[in-house]
Amino acid sequence: MITSLDCPSSQPVSNSNRRTFLKRGFLTLRGLALPSLMPFRGIGAVAATSTARSAIASTNGKSVIFVFLAGGPSHLDMYDMKPEAPADIRGEFRAIATNVYGIRMCEHLPLHAKIADKLAIVNGVETIDTHNAAVVMTGYTADLRRRRIEEIGAVRVQTPSLPHGDWDTHGRVLGRQLSIFQELRDKLPAYDRAIYSLINNVYDRGLDKDVLIVACGEFGRTPWINKYCGRDHWAPCGSVLFAGGGLRMGQVIGDTGPIGERERLRSQPYTAHSVLATIYRHLNISPSTLIQADDGREMPRLEDAQSIAELI
């Protein structure tokens, strides 16, 4: 409990068979809607254009659901908690055990904890300090725009709507009235229910080899709580959730140090390129394929084409 920063801690804020799954095409849960979540035909994503259909064929029936958590979710209050750190770093939430020994996560993600064997968390993913979605959709900033992953055809990108807006939880500043912990007490349960239902649906219908789920934002959040009872941008370190895709589940990858800042010499700095390379591998697309940038130059799809080895 943090009292010296005047962050209210105890009171939550009120705010308000396979074929069936493939036909459903949407998931709506209390507090969180993912419309048109899985428009599949067979086991590939359906799109209207012949280009998209060709892309699906080239990916051997594989598809991806990319859940974009716009604003930058706090890894320290979700997947990469530091219960032994000082109170002004660890925050107000407890870490709870999961169904995989040694894996712990936030108390407000109890449904995640029930299916930890069906997901993998990569901590210490480094990006850049920008809210531009191009960083996680292409691996580059908008100054060097590339083909975004949702244009491939076999990828469905969703930006879920959550209580209190996006994940840019700086605290009581910039027009926001709540501390990060007040916001997350409403936001995390809604997100928890949605991800739990989505992952279970994929696994229950035997699609976990063909459908890859990825959830992440632009970056993580500072280990230090600011004077507004929030956490600021922290590009050196964030968390990415993977599920399905025939990858190795039931693990946490990446050591971010005792306070979650990812000391650069402690572990390999995974990047947005690492995440995208893993997605492209699932889709049977070479990350080194030459594509044309907006300025006409031919460049590799990703300059760093290494997938996250521990997931393979």
| Confidence grade of residue 207 (pLDDT, cut at 50, 70, 90) | very high
pLDDT number for residue 266: 61
Percentage of the chain modeled with pLDDT above 90:
62
309 CB-near residues (< 8 Å, 6+ apart): none
Q: Supply the CATH number for residue 301's domain.
A: 3.40.720
pLDDT number for residue 53: 41
Query: Cα separation of 59 and 225, whole Å?
Result: 43
| Residue 31 domain flag | yes
Question: Number of folded domains in the chain?
Answer: 1
Q: Which of 20-34, 36-50, 140-154, 210-224 holds the top average pLDDT?
A: 210-224
Query: Cα separation of 58 and 38, whole Å?
Result: 19
| Residue 83 domain flag | yes
| Residue 216 domain flag | yes
What tokens were used for 250?
């039931």
Percentage of the chain modeled with pLDDT above 70:
78
Choose between 78 and 141: higher pLDDT. Answer: 78
pLDDT number for residue 23: 31
| Residue 142 domain flag | yes
| Residue 114 domain flag | yes
pLDDT number for residue 39: 32
| Residue 76 domain flag | yes
* Paired residues of 44 in beta bridges: 41
Range of the domain at 40: 23-311
The residue-averaged pLDDT of 260-272 equals 76
What's the pTM value of the predicted model, to 2 decimals? Answer: 0.84
| Confidence grade of residue 24 (pLDDT, cut at 50, 70, 90) | very low
Distance from chain centroid for Cα 34: 14
117 CB-near residues (< 8 Å, 6+ apart): 99, 100, 249, 250
Closest CA to 281 of 212, 218, 208: 212
pLDDT number for residue 151: 76
| Residue 92 domain flag | yes
DSSP code, position 151: G
pLDDT number for residue 4: 40
DSSP code, position 61: T
Choose between 278 and 55: higher pLDDT. Answer: 278
| Confidence grade of residue 51 (pLDDT, cut at 50, 70, 90) | very low
pLDDT number for residue 293: 74
pLDDT number for residue 204: 96
| Residue 8 domain flag | no
pLDDT at 268 over 70: no
